[in-house]
């Protein structure tokens, strides 16, 4: 679908193309050198859409809100069945970290580290970060080519500062997840750590939790179910197999259990009564 950038000053635009998507973002982030591209998400390495702007040297993650039945009022128009996208600022270092970790802690030029055939626009991330920013997560050799090497301790310290900033912002704006309005500092740190962990790998998140001293609660749906032990030839799966039925000698099989209605019917005195089948016999001429 084609994306339409609608600038709003005081009043909404009167006419709106119903085939376009609705994008909410700061007007300052819209520019002639901005585009929506696919990059690798730092959490799960899956493709995600970001708004890439070389003019402001920034990227914004596109968060989608799509329901089955939804409409939006845009000016004098009603836009139906159109996903709402919200552009939120994202630190480029989060997008660079997976490539930096995969470089096996070897000094390499950043533009070479970011080479990705599946996501060719990843190499453009190099233009968004300064040497000062890279020093927060890596060791940098004095050079014009940004030759760097991943540093785990620096990265964890940088992530701790991120958690602290998020926690402070939640306190100042009285943001409280759920219905509990009185959270302790530790609970705020836990929620903030969860937010930051949405942009780093699971292993790095575990190291971050250990460094901060918190433990995130994992949803039951995300827990991996224990795999069943494979059933091999000539072996018995004691965990998943049912107990075998004992075979009885021929002629001594157990009688099937009767229901209450069958027992009541069996106790009726049928002496002198005709059987049901006798009513359906062929009449002799």
Tens digit of each residue's pLDDT, the chain (285 residues): 334 333 333 333 334 454 566 777 777 666 667 788 999 999 999 999 998 887 778 899 988 777 777 777 777 777 777 777 888 899 999 999 999 999 887 899 999 999 999 999 999 999 999 999 999 999 998 877 789 999 999 999 999 999 999 999 988 888 877 666 677 888 889 999 999 999 999 999 999 999 999 888 654 344 344 433 333 333 334 344 444 445 555 555 566 667 766 666 666 666 666 665 555 555 554
pTM of the model: 0.67
Beta bridge partners of 121: none
């Amino acid at each position: 679908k084609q994306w339409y950038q609608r600038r709003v000053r005081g009043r909404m635009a009167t006419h709106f193309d119903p085939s376009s998507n609705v994008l909410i973002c700061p007007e300052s982030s819209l520019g002639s050198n901005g585009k929506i591209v696919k990059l690798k998400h730092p959490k799960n390495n899956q493709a995600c859409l970001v708004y890439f702007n070389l003019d402001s040297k920034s990227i914004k993650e596109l968060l989608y809100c799509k329901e089955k039945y939804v409409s939006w009022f845009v000016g004098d128009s009603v836009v139906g069945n159109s996903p709402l996208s919200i552009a939120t600022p994202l630190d480029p270092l989060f997008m660079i970290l997976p490539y930096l970790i995969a470089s096996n802690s070897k000094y390499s030029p950043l533009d070479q580290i970011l080479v990705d055939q599946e996501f060719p626009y990843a190499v453009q991330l190099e233009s968004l970060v300064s040497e000062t920013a890279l020093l927060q997560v890596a060791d940098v050799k004095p050079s014009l080519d940004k030759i760097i090497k991943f540093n785990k301790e620096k990265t964890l310290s940088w992530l701790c500062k991120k958690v602290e900033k998020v926690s402070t912002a939640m306190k100042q704006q009285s943001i409280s997840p759920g219905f509990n309005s009185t959270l302790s500092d530790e609970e705020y740190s836990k929620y903030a750590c969860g937010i930051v962990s949405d942009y780093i790998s699971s292993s790095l998140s575990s190291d971050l939790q250990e460094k901060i001293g918190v433990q995130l609660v994992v949803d039951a749906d995300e827990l991996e179910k224990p795999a069943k032990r494979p059933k091999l030839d000539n072996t018995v799966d004691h965990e998943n197999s049912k107990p075998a039925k004992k075979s009885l000698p021929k002629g001594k099989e157990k009688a099937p259990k009767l229901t209450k209605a069958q027992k009541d019917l069996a106790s009726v005195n049928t002496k002198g009564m005709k059987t049901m089948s006798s009513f359906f016999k062929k009449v002799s001429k």
